[in-house]
């Protein structure tokens, strides 16, 4: 009888091993790195799965996940606020305490997402700044915004599988902040 019990346990263990292991979710942690000076924002073009985590604000310790797709603008803008990339997304920003925003707009005059490649500022130790501004209303080309609701992602580090950084939501004062991770995904994922 004892031999039969061992055989059953051995078969059960073998059966468990033959099942494919589930992929562990990617970890997402804050970064304090500075961007490499030669990294252009246009290198971020592509599709991403994104997670934003709130560390301050009304929804502290909450997170939201969704997708971003970043592409070159159809028509280059000759103005001083020319984005390096435009795009769309489907993040539910209110889940992290940020103002709700239309991220799926494909209108070239008010894209859902814009990416700016900005020169270094005095407080960034001469590192370039790559910013993503979320929300069609915040990204209107016909209006110079001085205040209003927006969420801005600051890229801190680019990796082969994506990029990470921190974010701040304004409405018009800062209302929430946190960090984010973006992982590249293939077509159709």
**DSSP secondary structure of 15-30:** HHHHSPPPPPPPP---
- Delineate the domains of the chain, giving CATH numbers in brackets: 31-184 (2.40.128)
Q: What percentage of the chain reaches a pLDDT higher than 90?
A: 54
The pLDDT of residue 145: 64
The mean per-residue pLDDT over the stretch 163-186 comes to 92
Report the range of poorest mean pLDDT among 1-5, 27-31, 34-38: 1-5
- What backbone torsions phi and psi does residue 182 show, to the nearest 5 degrees? -130, 125
pLDDT at 58 over 50: yes
Question: Model confidence over 9-33: pLDDT tens digits?
Answer: 333 333 433 323 333 357 899 988 8
Of 42-46, 72-76, 123-127, where does the model show the most confidence? 42-46
CB atoms under 10 Å from CB of 79, counted, come to 9
The pLDDT of residue 122: 63
The pLDDT of residue 125: 59
Question: Model confidence over 128-159: pLDDT tens digits?
Answer: 689 999 999 999 888 776 666 889 999 999 99
3-state secondary structure of 39: coil
The pLDDT of residue 37: 73
Alpha-carbon gap, residue 164 to 115, rounded angstroms: 14
Question: Model confidence over 97-116: pLDDT tens digits?
Answer: 999 999 999 999 999 999 99
């Amino acid at each position: 009888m004892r031999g039969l019990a061992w055989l059953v346990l051995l078969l059960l263990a073998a059966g468990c091993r033959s099942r494919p292991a589930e992929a562990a979710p990617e970890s997402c942690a804050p970064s304090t790195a500075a961007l490499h000076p030669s990294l252009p924002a246009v290198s971020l073009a592509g599709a991403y799965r994104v997670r934003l985590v709130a560390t301050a604000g009304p929804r502290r310790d909450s997170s939201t996940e969704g997708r971003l797709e970043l592409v070159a603008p159809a028509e280059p803008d000759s103005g001083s606020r020319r984005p390096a990339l435009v795009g769309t997304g489907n993040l539910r920003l209110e889940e992290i305490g940020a103002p709700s925003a239309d991220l799926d707009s494909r209108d070239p005059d008010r894209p859902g997402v814009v990416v700016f490649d900005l020169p270094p500022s005095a407080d960034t130790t001469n590192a370039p700044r790559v910013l993503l501004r979320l929300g069609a209303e915040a990204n209107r080309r016909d209006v110079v915004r001085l205040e209003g609701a927006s969420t801005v992602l600051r890229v801190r580090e680019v990796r082969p599988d994506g990029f990470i950084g921190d974010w701040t939501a304004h409405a018009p004062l800062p209302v929430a902040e946190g960090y984010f991770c973006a992982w590249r995904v293939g077509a159709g994922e």
